[in-house]
Structure 1
């Protein structure tokens, strides 16, 4: 059976990628990163999503605590407040974690190579997103080239592809597609503040709520009043 590694945060986008990979007939190898993020609640969500898809035995949780030690992001440094409301469109938000997706993809490629996986799924999006530089198509293309050059699988002509099924979809389109695939959005979280009930005011919550509203669907998770 063909295999795919899915970078699974426990959020809406990465869980939708689980749905896409399953629909494409892959055996699922989810990988989650514990980097000391403020919203650590997502780690438990990722475990629940992996179990939902019958992949708990192949689900890896990798410790990257040094990212919290480095700081430099509102998601890893408690002294930097998570912004409320929309941020300036011409600025990279303070919720950007330096080189996070570069690290994630490198480690996921290692997990994929060991298990003979032919695809890496990552839920980056260049439409309704927060302006992170490591979510752009040109970034993904270059990392795919590096993986082909820097792995035994690539040298032997068996390099894995980086699959980005959400890249050019709006958040509403992502939610519609996920709903079609019966993705368990009730098991996900998107809130950067990491509360049991989502804050609804951070950029991630706002994008999620906007997406559900535009899709004409009800978000199944709980929000603060």
Structure 2
């Protein structure tokens, strides 16, 4: 199968699962360093995964987001709320139009590399809180990319309509080592176990019947 795609790879569970799921089609993985608390740990996991699979990995700096955008994700570990994604306080973790910015850059990079698709790993659990993960956004952004490129580059978002537990089940089938992924929004050495993404990570692995290899502070 031809390698016709670029993947936006954070280094978390979802994008790493997609990396393994579509590895035969992925020519390039791109991580973005935008100044979040957990960026460095995620990017290191992304690098390790790509090295293991023999996929080229680029890290693109986006310092301006950390400097000018408002989000608890950019303001240090103590600013991160604890609880479930269903809680209203989790809206503070939204980084305004983050996926739109990253997809635009990925689209330009894909066209420069003669690739036809940009893969992203948003999922159904993201929809309620993150506007730039919702199906309507993905469809509109994909159409804009098609219209704005000679080759009609589009977005492939294979997980849009499934849950993180579904992703974990797929990862289990694929043999993904989730100890080499990172999720915690606080960005410490160990996962806090209490922020929205840690809670979701725990729930997904439990529902998928995975023996969670994550080391949590609690």
Q: After superposition, what is the alpha-carbon deviation per residue over 1:90-146, rounded to whole angstroms, capped at 9, x for unaligned?
A: 676111001100001001111111111121110111236661000100000000111
Q: Residue 174 of structure 2 corresponds to which residue in structure 1?
A: 181
| Cα distance in 1 between the residues matched to 2:124 and 2:87 | 13
| Cα distance in 1 between the residues matched to 2:211 and 2:21 | 21
Mapped pair 1:111 → 2:104:
no
* Shift of residue 3, structure 1, vs aligned partner: 2.0
* Shift of residue 27, structure 1, vs aligned partner: 3.6
Q: Residue 156 of structure 1 corresponds to which residue in structure 2?
A: none
Q: Residue 220 of structure 1 corresponds to which residue in structure 2?
A: 213
| Cα distance in 2 between the residues matched to 1:85 and 1:224 | 15
Q: Residue 154 of structure 2 corresponds to which residue in structure 1?
A: 161
Q: After superposition, what is the alpha-carbon deviation per residue over 1:155-201, rounded to whole angstroms, capped at 9, x for unaligned?
A: xxxx2231111111121111010111122322100100111210000
Secondary structure at the aligned position of 1:28 is classed as strand
| Cα distance in 1 between the residues matched to 2:158 and 2:190 | 28
4+ residue runs of structure 1 moved beyond 4 angstroms? 87-92
| Cα distance in 2 between the residues matched to 1:114 and 1:88 | 39
- Answer whether contact 2:168 2:205 (CA < 8 A) is retained: yes
Structure (1/2) with the larger helix percentage: 2
Give the alignment's Cα RMSD to 1 decimal: 1.8
Q: TM-score, normalised by structure 2?
A: 0.92
- Answer whether contact 2:77 2:187 (CA < 8 A) is retained: no
Secondary structure at the aligned position of 2:28 is classed as strand
Pairs within 5 Å for 1:1-225: 1-22=2-23, 25-39=24-38, 40-55=40-55, 58-78=56-76, 81-86=79-84, 89=87, 93-127=91-125, 131-153=129-151, 159-225=152-218
Cα 1:47/1:220, change in 2 over 3 Å:
same
Q: How many residues align?
A: 216
Structure 2 unmatched runs, 5+: none
| Cα distance in 2 between the residues matched to 1:117 and 1:183 | 26
Cα 1:215/1:129, change in 2 over 3 Å:
farther
Cα 1:131/1:179, change in 2 over 3 Å:
same
| Cα distance in 1 between the residues matched to 2:140 and 2:78 | 31
| Cα distance in 1 between the residues matched to 2:87 and 2:138 | 21
